[in-house]
Structure 1
Amino acid sequence: MRRTVLTAAALLALTFQALGAGSPDPSKWQDVLAEARGETVYFNAWGGAENINAYLEWAGGELQKRYGIRLVHVKLDDTANAVAKVLAEKAAGRDESGTVDLIWINGENFASMKRQGLLFSPGWAEKLPNWKFVDVDGKPTIRTDFTVPIEGLESPWGMAKLVFFYDSASIDAATLPKSAKELLAWAKSNPGRFSYPQPPDFTGLSFLKQVLTELVSDPAVLQQPVDDTSFETATAPLFAYLNALNPLLWRSGKAFPQNYPAMKQLLADGEVDIIFAFNPSEASSGIANGELPDTVRSFVFPRGTLANTHFVAIPYNAAAKAGALVTADFLISPEAQLRKQDPKIWGDPTVLAVSKLSPEDKAGFEALDLGAATLKPDELGPALNEPHPSWMERLEVEWKRRYGVAN
């Protein structure tokens, strides 16, 4: 009888383990802090920009000093590589001690991880101590990622909106395009002076989604998962547009910049006249860091540009879950968010509601000089909804088939 009882107890323990029993609970924050001390957090995040890398180095120093956490920035050129690593570990039965503790993520990669059960338990993000400062009411994309409900499976880190840049020393602002169609007309008058990063680069795919959203006959179809019929019908205007645009691009569309930093360098070198980024402060940040001329300015399309939030997520099998929770909480602290929004540091817009902050922190944000090239919030124009993540996947495949080139 005793042997049977022990076996049942063992099975019960295994069941709780499979359900995640014993995982750190962010509602018991002091326990989380105690468990996190001494942990190493492997943060898989894009490593293609020096200012972002420097910011993460600063964050790592603060986490070590305050919480005894060692932050290792695993630099990615494609977030999908980290997702694939977690998926491979799950397929191999490695449900504990995974090699990825935290991922900078949004869009199709979040949807993929959620669909395949690769994320730490729902709700953790909204239990973080600094969640109380997050602007849930004013920024709807904090709870919906590319139409996919977040359910507390990832923590917001920064805001994004597609903004275009130009050098006012060489271009008259009155001639700037005000829509995707006008951009094509501008390219015809200025061949070789525009380009976009080659997909699967996120910024390049964002340009395709912007054009698609403007040209599609029924934007509502983009909020639903893609199918063969809807894809062919909805994207026909986009590919007709690209067929006309690509020969007019830098290097006649036979080569594309690899990513946003490479496109930014083309503007700095005077090889193109208009570029774009998913950060309203990017031009001011580039000026502050000596990467762009101080005559660069921003503009948007009056009828709207894409907007979203980017996040950090914890894989279900992360080895340092407690350390990852503390890291995610620190990244949405008023101090870390204020530093991140400074164009001299990064220029990434905050996810916090400044009105919720202490008088001291509120004053810090209000005193922040966002730079002459940064548009004011009321100048950014309407925010267009991101399509469902499945559209991004199909666009990438079809773009490669039609226009893919070797850089």
Structure 2
Amino acid sequence: MLRKLVLAAVVAAAGFSSAHADDLLSKKWDDIVTQAKQEGELNWYVWYNLPEYREYVKSFEKEYGIKVNLPEVSSAADAQKKLLAEAGRATGDIDVLAMGGDATNVIDVTKVFYGPILKTLPDSGDITDKINGGDGKGYSIAYWGNQTGIAYDSNRVDAATLPQTLDELSAWMEKNPGQLGFNYLNGGAGQSFLHNVGRNVLGVTPDTKLSATPDMQPVWDWFNKRKDQFVITASNADSMTRINSGEFLLVPAWEDNLFSLIKKNEVGSHIKIYLPKWGMNGGGNIVAIPANSGHKAAAMVFISWLTSAKVQSDFSKLYGASPTNTKADFSQGLIPADQRQYTRSWTQPLPRDEVLGGFAKNVVEN
């Protein structure tokens, strides 16, 4: 909350207001494209897939004649720090900023970013400003979806026997002790598993709005009763290494990460992933235009292109991302399209920090 207030205060002091930046949002789309071509370039700050993105955006550059610069960015946090540091400048270096979708919970998007842009974009009815538990309020747009699921060794596990409910998981673990591994630190896949097992143990539906954290003791009892049936791994990466080597049959995993590991031949193609009916969390990343961007039209055209059905289909095919445009091709991902209905939110209904802290205290340290 303090970070949000500080950032909003700095922007306000600098006199930035996305509502008064110019009349760009009132223009016809063709006129915005014309202005974008006149601006000629933009700077996209994103912290991952930089080599891949630098190659892929060449198609945008060819189509629009607008240069896309992708500076080296070490992390999402560093990019946001730069946004904060430049808030007092009339024109900042960042034209398009990528962030985790939940960043909108700590940044006042209406003060920091230009917009709202959603309704101005041609595909506004097919894209979203809400992802990963965050609400971009039309100022930030989802462009990268990621999904956690359960990776399995298809050489040794028949897909028809994969556990789909909590009761089936309990029976599977009893039958296959030590063959389920998951992390609770250093990566979100195992955390998603804990969150959704906990929700199912308590009988809490995904859309339940809780006014307070319920008594979690039944959850800790569930795990403690089965301590000899699972293995806690060090991280997402550790889980993937160990299932690939044959130590485990099931581990929580990220779809896009598994896709990348298989593509790099670091994990075999026999490791597959599914989304069980008990649910696993999905999230994703957003892009937004800083209020002091010097290339707002170019940034808007780029975001429109980035979130288009064509690009979103390509991101699924090339990188294993979950499309954020409803018109995209959802058949390209590792998780079957008919299973995506079981995706769950990171923020509802159980608080993630309390689940993780409680698991550490009442299970790991018990």
What range is the shorter-chain TM-score in? 0.7 to 0.9
Distance 1:318 1:402 in 2: 48
Relative to the length of structure 2, the TM-score reads: 0.74
Is this contact kept in 1: 2:154–2:272, CA < 8 A? yes
Is this contact kept in 1: 2:151–2:252, CA < 8 A? yes
Aligned pair in 2 of structure 1 residues 284, 59: CA closer, same or farther (>3 Å)?
A: closer
1:311 Cα deviation after fit: 2.5
Residues 78-227 of structure 1 aligned to structure 2 (within 5 Å): 79-80=76-77, 82-83=79-80, 86=83, 93=88, 97=92, 101-107=96-102, 109-114=103-108, 119-129=112-122, 131-132=123-124, 135=126, 142-145=128-131, 148-173=134-159, 175-199=161-185, 201-219=187-205, 223=209
Is this contact kept in 1: 2:143–2:286, CA < 8 A? yes
Residues 304-343 of structure 1 aligned to structure 2 (within 5 Å): 304-308=279-283, 310-317=285-292, 321-342=296-317
Among 13, 16, 19, the residue aligned to 2:17: 19
Q: Alpha-carbon deviations, 1:310-342, whole Å to 9, x = none?
A: 422344455655554343222123442232121
Distance 2:360 2:80 in 1: 21
Structure 2: gaps of 5 or more residues: 1-11
Is this contact kept in 2: 1:35–1:322, CA < 8 A? no
Structure 1 range deviating more: 81-90 or 207-216:
81-90
1:220 Cα deviation after fit: 6.7
The answer on 1:59 being equivalent to 2:56 is yes
1:123 Cα deviation after fit: 2.0
Structure 1: gaps of 5 or more residues: 1-13, 137-141, 356-364
Distance 1:353 1:404 in 2: 41
Which residue does 2:234 correspond to in 1?
Answer: 256
Root-mean-square deviation over aligned CA pairs: 4.1
The answer on 1:377 being equivalent to 2:337 is yes
Which residue does 2:274 correspond to in 1?
Answer: 299
The SS at the match of 1:301 is coil
Distance 1:289 1:295 in 2: 14
Is this contact kept in 2: 1:148–1:388, CA < 8 A? no
The SS at the match of 1:199 is coil
1:305 Cα deviation after fit: 3.8
Distance 1:273 1:143 in 2: 37
The SS at the match of 1:156 is strand
Aligned pair in 2 of structure 1 residues 320, 185: CA closer, same or farther (>3 Å)?
A: farther
The answer on 1:68 being equivalent to 2:67 is yes
The SS at the match of 1:69 is strand
Work out the percentage of aligned pairs sharing the same amino acid: 18
Which residue does 1:236 correspond to in 2?
Answer: 217
Residue type at the aligned position of 1:352: N
Distance 1:174 1:235 in 2: 32
Distance 1:396 1:242 in 2: 13
1:210 Cα deviation after fit: 1.9
Distance 1:404 1:102 in 2: 38
1:67 Cα deviation after fit: 0.8
The SS at the match of 1:239 is helix
The answer on 1:391 being equivalent to 2:351 is yes
Is this contact kept in 2: 1:304–1:382, CA < 8 A? yes
Which residue does 1:6 correspond to in 2?
Answer: none
Residue type at the aligned position of 1:268: N
Among 232, 238, 248, the residue aligned to 1:272: 248
Distance 1:94 1:247 in 2: 57
Aligned pair in 2 of structure 1 residues 263, 32: CA closer, same or farther (>3 Å)?
A: farther
Aligned pair in 2 of structure 1 residues 172, 198: CA closer, same or farther (>3 Å)?
A: same
Relative to the length of structure 1, the TM-score reads: 0.68
Aligned pair in 2 of structure 1 residues 85, 271: CA closer, same or farther (>3 Å)?
A: farther
The SS at the match of 1:219 is coil
Distance 1:400 1:340 in 2: 36
Which residue does 2:32 correspond to in 1?
Answer: 29
Distance 1:242 1:118 in 2: 44
Residue type at the aligned position of 2:347: P
* Matched pairs, number: 347
Aligned pair in 2 of structure 1 residues 70, 191: CA closer, same or farther (>3 Å)?
A: same
Q: Alpha-carbon deviations, 1:167-223, whole Å to 9, x = none?
A: 121224454322345435534543443333443633333223222332234437853
Distance 1:222 1:88 in 2: 39
Aligned pair in 2 of structure 1 residues 99, 19: CA closer, same or farther (>3 Å)?
A: closer
Q: Alpha-carbon deviations, 1:88-137, whole Å to 9, x = none?
A: 666xx567526684123213x2212237x6641342133224x25x535x
Distance 1:213 1:75 in 2: 34
1:152 Cα deviation after fit: 0.9
Q: Alpha-carbon deviations, 1:45-102, whole Å to 9, x = none?
A: 3x3xxxx4443232343455531221225242xx455445545666xx5675266841
Distance 2:342 2:72 in 1: 34
